[in-house]
Structures are given as structure tokens and as C-alpha cells.
Structure 1
């Protein structure tokens, strides 16, 4: 299955980000701590160019802490400023503000030398859909300003928000990119909920997820679904989970649609524990050619919605 979702309003949001870039001192880029590589929009490198940037790994309470530590070391080696953030339990905005002050110091030193009066840091907050941006903003601002939800596409327009007296944030809608060159990126985005479920073959995504978790976190599957052993075949594992959780239809057959929805919901809700779907090592290895189109799986989903939404 080829996964793609790039509705028309994302192209509009991309243009708005480009237009507003000259008004900000830095960018705060949010990525999902469970998939820090797959949830980074590659278009941002071209859009932001040399604009100072902070990378914030959101939903860190749902990710494997050891893997998150690997990602922070990876970013540090790349010379990037990065931090993890648990939006529901974070101690306010200080960690992000501190990083923002660090990356924008050259800008404000230059302004000071020119005799320009100090002002708050102006930063643009960016991320893909459902990365937790609205929740992070509410934590930084200190009140419920942005709408939150577990579905992509909650934020539809740009707005300026004050973070104490040290920072002003320009909120922007979540933006994906037109084509996933590596289809595994699409699968990881789909598994974490960054792509609307209505555009996907949920059973295919759930099969991918259970196969990956069987390889990396077998004990999490065994404990959650009370399995004494894990079948070698991914589909057999999927069916066994359906039986254990009572996802049955007439005749005792597993309702695969219901089973897929259950697996994805429990993963997204953190019911299987703190899990990460990729490590820095995954993306340092040489990728094999993508032959997913030869798999004989479900028909392609290559959606470019014409909605222009606000």
C-alpha cells in the first residue's frame, strides 16, 4: 500500500509559513518522540534555511526513554539544539525559552550593538499534524489557548501567542509533504495517527505495527494481550490478538477491522507501554529499494484532497 495525504490546505499553510518567516527570529520544530525521523518534514530545511531552530521531541512520555536519549545524542552530534517534552507534565515553558535564548543570542547581541531596544523573542512553532502542537502551546502559554485533539488537522490558521514576557509564538497549521520517498515513513506516520484514518487501510497499518513491535518489543505484546508466545507469522499474531481480545464475528472468525482499530487505538493511547518505532541507527543504515508496489497488497492511497479549509 502506498500511503500519502497532502490536502490542499497544507499547500496554503506552507505558503503562509514562508511569508511569515521574515517576522520571526527562530523556529520551534516539534517532532513525535516515537518517530523523530519520520515526523520531521523534509521541506522545512528548504523553507527555514539558516533560521535558528530548536527541535522538540513531543509525547516523550509515550516513547522509549532509552531511544529518546539516543535521539538527543544524535541531534547534539548534528549540532542541533534539541530537548524532550512531556506536554502533560512539563514544568512550564522554561526549557524551551532557554533554548530559544541560546539559539537567538547572536541576533539579539547584534541588535544590542546597534542600540535597538530589547524585545521578546519571536518564534514560529511548526510540526506535522497530530504531533501534539496545540497541547505543547497550551503548556507553554500557561492556559488553554489552542484547541487540542487526537486527530490531525486541528489547527487551521496562524495566531500569535505570548509565552510570559520573553517569547511570542506564531502558531501554524500542521504540514505534511507531497510524497513520502520511503514508504516506511508513511506507515510510521499512519500508525501514530498523523494521517487521517479515513485515508488508510487500517488492517494493513495494524499488521505493520504488530510486526514491528514483535521484533522490538515482544514482551509488550505478550503482556498486553496475554500471549504465552508470539507466532512467527505477523498475520497469525494479528489474528491471535483478535481472538484474545474478543474481536469476533459470527462463526467465531476474527473481525479484522475491529481488531486493527483496537491495536492502533491501544498503541496510540500508550496502553502497550513506552515504545519507539525508530532509532537513529535505522536511518544510518543503507536503505533497501522500496518494492512495496510489488507486494500485491491493497490499492494505493495517493490522496491530494482539494479542500482549502481555513
Structure 2
């Protein structure tokens, strides 16, 4: 049986090589993740790439998850020794804190240069993360003008380029980087549901069915995490006694004259734009 999600390692390997070449010149790494799936959007090689560099963890799309989820993730990440910065880059919320953190990290870097008898220079930062987690929107907010294309779809940024934010800070805009091999198919499903990988990698009907199954697993995670109620309220169709496949077929029959593809696209779109509510697909252990 073929994996549910697959993509093309050749393109990824080329992009990774270009990124690693530029990372040698970088002082600060801004790692952007999706608040709905903060673990699935952690690149497995990130710790190797950022070794010896200042690391700023940005959890974007915080508007897409509940306050309870945000609080639980903040506590969990801090327990892991990480300081998360929560942002809604589309609206600019939380971005000032990122700029300040990058500036502080840069000051520390320049102090080390002075200590070694070297002259201070502009801090070089890079924004990295999976496709469509909001990197371009974050950069535009940091620069305070539209300097990179930003859209809610993967693959808008195609090449590496440096952008000067201030006299003291330069930023490298990198394309979304996927692992060449993603062995964790559960994580891959979540990326597909959130549209954090290219559409060519998956089948809408399979992913929409998986979304319903995941909702069944997550239902009741907290008092406000009413995943199944969200489906019932939106489509007037209860899911608790159906498989994901059956639910998709019933939804297609009820609304789209049996068109499963249309039902799948609707279900995925409604989740991605927040019509089903602020429902993360991952919670801390």
C-alpha cells in the first residue's frame, strides 16, 4: 500500500543544500511552527542546523487555536527549556516581541565579536519552517512593508534571498523546507490537513476522512475541545458513530449529490479557515 502522503526528495535535497550553505553565515534562527500542529511542524533536522546559533521559536497562527491550547503548549515548551513566542503574523500580533528577541540575540553576538577584537556588524537572521506556516507574513510584519509574497498556500517563496530590516538586522527569507523523508505518516497527515505541504502530495478524500477520525480521537481533550460538536453544528451531521470514510460519503450525499471530492474539499477548507472553531490537532502529553 502506498503511503498516504508522499513528495519528491530531489527538490527538497537541493533546497536543503542551499539553505545549509547560507546557514553558515547566520547568527540567529527564527523557527516558525504552526500553532495547530507545533510538533508536526518541527523539522527533524532543526537541532543540527541551529547548533551554536541563537534560536527563537515562533508559534504562528495562534488565532487558530483556543487560549487553553496556547496556555498548555506554552507551559509544556517552557518545561522543555524553550521560550515560545506566539504570533498571528497576518495581523501582526506578537511580532514586536520577535523583533526585540532577535535584536537582543544580535547584541550578544556583537559583544562576543568585540571580546575577540572584531568589529560589530549587522545581525544575520533566517526565518525557517515548513511551507505555509506563515514565514513570509512574519517577514513582512518585521520589515513593516510587503517585501515578500505572502499567501495562505505552500510554495510561494521559491528562493533564498537577504532582506535588510534595519541597519543592525538582515533577514534571510528561505523557502519552506520539508524533510526529504517523513517516516511519521501521522505527522504527515496533520501537515496535509493544515495545508502545510503542497497539494500534489496527498489525496483530498483520504485526508478529509483522516480529519474526521482525528476529531473523534481528540474529542473531549478539554471542556472546550468539542471537535465532534463542531462537525454536527457546521453540517447538521453527527460523526460519533461513523468512520471518517462513512462520514465523508454521508456529507457528500447530504449536500453535494454524492460528490465526495467536493465534500472533502469543503471539510478541509472549513477547518483551515477556522469555520469549525479554534481546534488544534495536537495537544501536549
| Aligned with 2:275 (options 263, 271, 274) | 271
Q: Give the stretch that moved more between structures: 11-20 or 230-239.
A: 230-239
Aligned twin of 1:303: none
**Contact 2:253–2:259 under 8 Å retained in 1:** no
User: Offset of 1:116 from its aligned partner?
Assistant: 4.0
Aligned twin of 2:51: 49
User: Offset of 1:173 from its aligned partner?
Assistant: 1.0
Aligned twin of 1:290: none
Q: Give the stretch that moved more between structures: 131-140 or 192-201.
A: 192-201
User: Given the alignment of the two structures, is residue 232 of structure 1 paired with residue 262 of structure 2, yes or no?
Assistant: no
SS at match of 1:280: coil
The answer for unaligned runs of 5 or more in structure 1 is: 249-253, 282-310
**Contact 1:156–1:173 under 8 Å retained in 2:** yes
User: Given the alignment of the two structures, is residue 223 of structure 1 paired with residue 226 of structure 2, yes or no?
Assistant: no
Aligned twin of 1:11: 13
Q: Give the stretch that moved more between structures: 25-34 or 75-84.
A: 75-84
Q: How many residues align?
A: 274
Pair 74,102 (structure 1): closer, same or farther in 2 beyond 3 Å: farther
Aligned twin of 1:307: none
Pair 181,199 (structure 1): closer, same or farther in 2 beyond 3 Å: closer
Cα distance in 2 between the residues matched to 1:181 and 1:259: 28
User: Offset of 1:101 from its aligned partner?
Assistant: 3.6
SS at match of 1:109: helix
Question: Relative contact order (C-alpha < 8 Å, sep 6+): which is higher?
Answer: 1
Q: CA-atom RMSD, angstroms?
A: 2.0
Cα distance in 2 between the residues matched to 1:24 and 1:198: 32
Query: Which 4+ residue blocks in structure 1 deviate beyond 6 angstroms?
Result: none
TM-score relative to the length of structure 2: 0.88
SS at match of 1:15: helix
**Contact 1:31–1:56 under 8 Å retained in 2:** yes
| Aligned with 1:98 (options 93, 97, 100) | 100
Aligned twin of 1:260: 264
| Aligned with 1:192 (options 191, 194, 207) | 194
**Contact 1:6–1:177 under 8 Å retained in 2:** no
Cα distance in 2 between the residues matched to 1:106 and 1:134: 26
Alignment of 1:99-138 (within 5 A): 99-138=101-140
Q: Give the stretch that moved more between structures: 121-130 or 231-240.
A: 231-240
Q: Deviations over 1:87-139 (max 9, x none)?
A: 12224742112222444554232223345444432111101111111111111
| Aligned with 2:76 (options 55, 74, 77) | 74
| Aligned with 1:60 (options 41, 54, 62) | 62
Q: Deviations over 1:185-230 (max 9, x none)?
A: 1100111112222331211110010122234212211221133x43
**Contact 2:6–2:202 under 8 Å retained in 1:** no
TM-score relative to the length of structure 1: 0.81
